[in-house]
Structure 1
Amino acid sequence: MPYPFTLPELGYPYEALEPHIDAKTMEIHHQKHHGAYVANLNATLEKYPYLQGAEVETLLRHLAALPADIQTAVRNNGGGHLNHSLFWELLTPGGAQEPVGELKKAIEEQLGGFQALKERLTQAAMGRFGSGWAWLAKDPFGKLHVFSTANQDNPVMEGFTPIVGIDVWEHAYYLKYQNRRADYLQAVWNVINWDKAEEIYRRG
């Protein structure tokens, strides 16, 4: 939904992903971090009514067309809103633990299977210096790619459709894992809902 953007409900309790992701981290991550991105994005667009009918994806795809004084704020806060909205959907409890359907077939044909995907995504996440995200994304020609982005940048900014995103900002894991990003990345595979990933892949 366009402006005013709202913080999406998780649809599940904060403790639903334990022991892999703890309830306090989920609460702070959702309410404080994502909530701040939404509030800041709304404040940024307040003085530009002509932009308020645009979806966040459209704003991010066309950053260069926005007024120069808000491009960075939209990039950071719009990206944060879009990234986290996808992340919460992907973490919905109770789904398939491995790729299914058309996405499974594409992963097998293009990336060498689920294990190879896990290795490549983990490598992308571990290789991201500082804060950012690791992605499985689809290009406009239907081919899958694995890469990372800095800060809250989203693949739509480069013409890709994000399918799976893994948050590697420290606020996503520091309360439980401290500086052990590798341990967090090992755990997060237990809570990705591949039924949701399949839905995202098909609608993209």
Structure 2
Amino acid sequence: MVFSLPSLLYQYNELEPYIDTETMKIHHQKHHQTYINNLNTALSKVPSMVDASLVEILLSTNNFTEISADLKKTILNNAGGHYNHSLFWVCMSPNSNVTDMLIPLKTQIEKDFQSFENMKNIFNSKALSVFGSGWVWLCYNTNQQKLSITTSLNQDNPISFDTNLIPFLCLDVWEHAYYLKYQNKRKDYVDQWWNTVDWKNVSLFYDEYALTGHHIRVEADGKIGMRDL
């Protein structure tokens, strides 16, 4: 299986003024593409994984017994980079509107966090707590049947550490995601990012994946395996 860069559902300038055009272009064309290139190169050395999907790779953390620790790390890092960014792009839209959130997700947020604003505050605090590079995730815990907010370092994905978690909204807090516009002001970036969240897509991810107990399927070309995208 050869992995490739997904096309965005919007132009690089369409998330302005919240995320600048140059950041979007470099982030997508350079950073994301590099993860894909490195993943393809690493997997070419492991014939047994030639048909593995991104989810299968991320879930098989403890099954890489036939390869070196360094190669295992390279595969997981870059598979995470491809999966995480592919999901990140479709969690955003130039037409962000919280009223697009569907009832099941809205109800679950209010049940688990008391209010949407409280959920945002917790998410923001988690984003600011990440030391160095990483991600923040809104997940559904299939075991507890409730939402949770977690973080991961570098390009790690929550499903590699807890298969009960189904992440369906993510925020990249690597400096390359915001430094050109916000410099060291991560808080400003996080606050403004909420103006880009595509609540229609996020709600669909919750309905079609989280509530059915399945991890979001990111295809080899970075597209989300859903009928509406």
Greater mean alpha carbon deviation, residues 179-188 or residues 150-159: 150-159
Please state whether the residue corresponding to 1:144 is helix, strand or coil. strand
Instruction: Within 5 Å, give how 1:69-148 maps onto structure 2.
Output: 69=69, 70-97=71-98, 99-141=101-143, 142-148=145-151
**Is the Cα contact below 8 Å between 1:41 and 1:78 reproduced in 2?**
yes
Displacement of 1:137 in angstroms is 0.5
Amino acid across the alignment from 1:68? S
Pairing partner for 2:159 from 153, 156, 160: 156
Cα displacement string for residues 100-151 of structure 1 (whole angstroms, at most 9, x for unaligned residues):
3211111011111210110000000000100001110111233211111111
Are 2:180 and 1:175 aligned?
yes
Supply the RMSD in Å over aligned alpha carbons: 1.2
Q: Which residue of 2 aligns with 1:197?
A: 202
How much identity, in percent, do the aligned residues show? Answer: 41
**Is the Cα contact below 8 Å between 1:60 and 1:156 reproduced in 2?**
yes
Greater RCO (Cα-Cα under 8 Å, separation 6 or more): 2
**Is the Cα contact below 8 Å between 1:95 and 1:196 reproduced in 2?**
no
Cα displacement string for residues 15-49 of structure 1 (whole angstroms, at most 9, x for unaligned residues):
01000000100000001000000010000000212
Cα distance in 2, alignment partners of residues 54 and 101 from structure 1: 35
Q: Which residue of 2 aligns with 1:26?
A: 24
Q: Which residue of 2 aligns with 1:64?
A: 62
- State the TM-score, normalizing by the size of structure 2: 0.85
Please state whether the residue corresponding to 1:189 is helix, strand or coil. helix
**Is the Cα contact below 8 Å between 1:64 and 1:71 reproduced in 2?**
no
Q: What stretches of structure 1 of length at least 5 have no aligned partner?
A: none
Displacement of 1:95 in angstroms is 4.2
**Is the Cα contact below 8 Å between 1:133 and 1:150 reproduced in 2?**
yes
| Runs of 4+ more than 4 Å apart | none
